[in-house]
Amino acid sequence: MTTVRDVLVSELRAQRRRVIATLDGLPEEALTRSRLPSAWSPLGMVRHLTHDVERFWFRGVVAGERLALPTDDEVWHPTTWPGARAVVEAYEAAAAQSDAVIESTPLEALPSAAAMATYPWAPARSLLETVLHVITETATHAGHLDIARELVDGHQHLVLTEFADPTAGSAGGAPGTGPT
């Protein structure tokens, strides 16, 4: 029987995979270079998702751990960039820890008083609301990475013409049958 928790975790994992897949095949230089006025790079985005999203929301706010989080500048613009593999492995490890917190916490659970004292700016919302927030944030940033990737080498994760034109794409399938 599929539960709400199963659906949430499945969707969160799908968005995480999309983040990692978007980086696949990019040269190291493209991973640490920004092509945008806001100056973030693809690896900076993955580091943001690792520390400010996965670690902060699940281990910090939900599980109540007091975390030594890096500063925004250390996340987005480290003096020395870790290798791409190390950044992806850290993201995958943080995601696995998040999944463990999600699996062991009731969906209606609110952050503890200790967690709220440690992170007073965090909203006191249930695990369910937090998971929905993280799915939204991860999907949003996956879209940002899609755009950054297209600026680097033209690769598009989601090709809209395949949805709008039933004759486009692999087998000339119906709209909505293209890649997601």
Helix (H) / strand (E) element for 137: namely: helix 127-153
Residue 1: count other Cβ atoms within 10 Å of its Cβ.
Answer: 3
Per the CB < 8 A criterion, the answer to whether 70 and 94 are in contact is no
How far apart, in whole angstroms, are the C-alpha atoms of residue 172 and residue 21? 25
Length reported for the chain: 180
Q: Which residue has the tokens 């940002």?
A: 144
Q: What token pair was written down for 42?
A: 């693809």
Per the CB < 8 A criterion, the answer to whether 50 and 23 are in contact is no
Per-residue pLDDT at 66: 96
Per the CB < 8 A criterion, the answer to whether 127 and 59 are in contact is no
pLDDT, mean over the chain: 90
CA neighbor of 146 nearest in space, from 9, 15, 51, 48:
15
Q: What token pair was written down for 157?
A: 């994760």
User: Is 0.95 surpassed by the pTM of this model?
Assistant: no
CA neighbor of 103 nearest in space, from 133, 67, 152, 63:
63
Percent residues over pLDDT 90 in the chain: 82
User: Which parts of the chain have pLDDT scores under 70?
Assistant: 158-180
Q: What is the pLDDT of residues 108-128, one digit of tens each?
A: 999 999 999 999 999 999 999
How far apart, in whole angstroms, are the C-alpha atoms of residue 161 and residue 159? 6
